[in-house]
Amino acid sequence: MAKKIVLAYSGGLDTSFCIKYLTEEKGYEIHALTVDTGGFSEEEIKEMEARALALGASSYRREDVTEAYYRECLRFLVYGNCLRYQTYPMSVSAERMFQAMSTARYAVEIEADGVAHGSTGAGNDQVRFDLAFELSGRELEIITPIRDMQLSRQEEVDYLAKHGLQWPEKKGTYSINAGLWGTSVGGAETLTSHQSLPEEAWPVPVTETASRDIDLHFQNGEFRGFDDQEFASPVAAIKALEALAAPFGVGRDIHVGDTIIGIKGRVGFAAAAAVLILKGHHLLEKHTLGKWQLFWKEQLANWYGMMLHEGQFLDPVMRDVEAFLESSQGTVNGTVHVTLHPHRFELRGITSPDDLLGAGFGAYGEMNKGWSGEDVKGFTKILSVPGRIRNAVANK
């Protein structure tokens, strides 16, 4: 009897190869599962289903986890202003864990013998998927043809062509991963340390040529919408902001970072909504939170992002940090005023009922109302005592 295997199926080259190879060469019964984290249209899902079945999958299923992905993960990345190395919004890092966890649950549900994914042996995703599968509660066999056979993209394209599927040239050139929190782009240029991605590699071309002002609205730290539009959920608001801002070319960059497996990695990303929301939220927090709140949030959020990036989302300590981040957001309310320009944006300022800058105690560099000059003299004298003691001892 053929082994029943659940394949985490993205519709891309690697996982399409996996279906054909595992059915044709291994005789496995493949059940393709696409875990949608907000990156697919209904038309794309239909195309993926048709391709999976044509390649030999016994079944195809799409599971939309976008709302859970936002509720259980992305909102904490916003609360923490999480950017990997101050650059990358961790779009792939976050969504992979949810795709892996859903794949493991489905394998348990249908009593599969194993799970498969299309990760290579040189990236982070193999660790994220494997770790989630190991923690599924079942002894699932983990099958990874691309990793085990050390295949190049061209070898995969050639194999599929031999079996009657001509892979589109552009899709063979660039590895594209789209989700609610952004799209990653990998290609020959990102394997170097000096080349930038060409315009045609980016998922959305720059078509906007004039500037535009927008207002981003936050309530208790959550992005709720922009301008005068109302949205049913933060997910809907994020999608609408991405559609508006992506044609300006904002939120594009190339990230260089450390992988879980110890090597450096380089990848392009286009995440207009994510970058605007994170930068806007950070500015609003600087107006509405205190010094030590900002300090400890920065330390813990940086650590939280690192743990998420390295596949440790399921560690209980992550829930502890999330509780801290959420508790800090009660006064993070208001509007961030932004101007979009082609290829850049400007944060003009904020309007908030919780703005500590407008509390009336003074105007920085101009005047004060909460203390006198004599108060400052005494305060400064006391503040200098530890340093004066050190100087006295050092000068003996």
For residue 100, is pLDDT > 90?
A: yes
Q: For 7-32, give the secondary structure using H, E and C.
A: EECCCCHHHHHHHHHHHHCCCCEEEE
Chain mean pLDDT for the chain? 94
Query: Do 209 and 296 lie in a common domain?
Result: yes
CB distance 310 to 123 below 8 Å: no
pLDDT tens column, 196-253: 999 999 999 999 999 999 999 999 999 999 999 989 999 999 999 999 999 999 999 9
- Report percent pLDDT > 90 for the chain: 85
Looking at the DSSP bridge assignments, the partners of residue 177 are 184
Query: Do 80 and 23 lie in a common domain?
Result: yes
- Of residues 38, 69, 74, the one with CA closest to residue 322: 74
Looking at residue 362, what is its pLDDT? 61
pTM (two decimals): 0.93
On whether residue 117 sits in a domain, the answer given is yes
Sign of CA dihedral 148, 150, 152, 157: negative
Number of domains into which the chain is organized: 3
On whether residue 357 sits in a domain, the answer given is no
Query: Do 159 and 244 lie in a common domain?
Result: no
On whether residue 356 sits in a domain, the answer given is no
Mark which of 133, 157, 175 sits at the end of a domain. 175
Query: Do 45 and 188 lie in a common domain?
Result: no
**Is residue 170 very low, low, confident or very high in pLDDT (cuts 50, 70, 90)?**
low
Looking at the DSSP bridge assignments, the partners of residue 269 are 184, 253
d(CA 81, CA 75) in angstroms, rounded, equals 10
Q: Supply the CATH number for residue 224's domain.
A: 3.90.1260.10
CB distance 108 to 35 below 8 Å: no
- Of residues 62, 45, 48, the one with CA closest to residue 19: 48
**Is residue 368 very low, low, confident or very high in pLDDT (cuts 50, 70, 90)?**
confident
Query: Do 191 and 118 lie in a common domain?
Result: no
On whether residue 359 sits in a domain, the answer given is no
Query: Do 201 and 170 lie in a common domain?
Result: no
Looking at residue 364, what is its pLDDT? 65
Q: How far apart are the first and last CA of the chain?
A: 87
d(CA 235, CA 110) in angstroms, rounded, equals 30
For residue 363, is pLDDT > 90?
A: no
**Lowest mean pLDDT: which of 256-260, 284-288, 316-320, 372-376?**
372-376
Residue type, 304: Y
- Of residues 142, 129, 168, 124, the one with CA closest to residue 35: 129
Query: Do 214 and 153 lie in a common domain?
Result: no
Query: Do 125 and 52 lie in a common domain?
Result: yes
Query: Do 121 and 66 lie in a common domain?
Result: yes
pLDDT tens column, 40-59: 999 999 999 999 999 999 99
- Of residues 38, 77, 121, 96, the one with CA closest to residue 325: 77
Mark which of 143, 175, 207 sits at the end of a domain. 175
Sorted by sequence, the CB contacts under 8 Å of residue 207 that are 6+ apart come out as 247
For residue 94, is pLDDT > 80?
A: yes
Query: Do 39 and 161 lie in a common domain?
Result: yes
Average pLDDT value for residue range 2-18: 95
d(CA 219, CA 231) in angstroms, rounded, equals 13
- Of residues 180, 185, 177, the one with CA closest to residue 239: 180
CB distance 287 to 355 below 8 Å: yes
Looking at residue 44, what is its pLDDT? 94
- Structural domain for 377, as ranges: 364-394
Tokens of 208: 């906007």
**Is residue 347 very low, low, confident or very high in pLDDT (cuts 50, 70, 90)?**
very high
Query: Do 343 and 197 lie in a common domain?
Result: yes
Neighbours of 199 (CB within 10 A): 9
Q: Supply the CATH number for residue 34's domain.
A: 3.40.50.620
**Lowest mean pLDDT: which of 75-79, 331-335, 372-376?**
372-376
CB distance 117 to 124 below 8 Å: no
Query: Do 217 and 293 lie in a common domain?
Result: yes
On whether residue 336 sits in a domain, the answer given is yes
Mark which of 144, 175, 206 sits at the end of a domain. 175
Looking at residue 396, what is its pLDDT? 80
- Of residues 35, 20, 90, the one with CA closest to residue 68: 35
Measured in whole angstroms, how far is the alpha carbon of residue 28 from the centre of its chain?
33
- Give the DSSP H/E element, type plus range, for residue 142: strand 141-143
Looking at residue 172, what is its pLDDT? 60
Tokens of 366: 């101009």
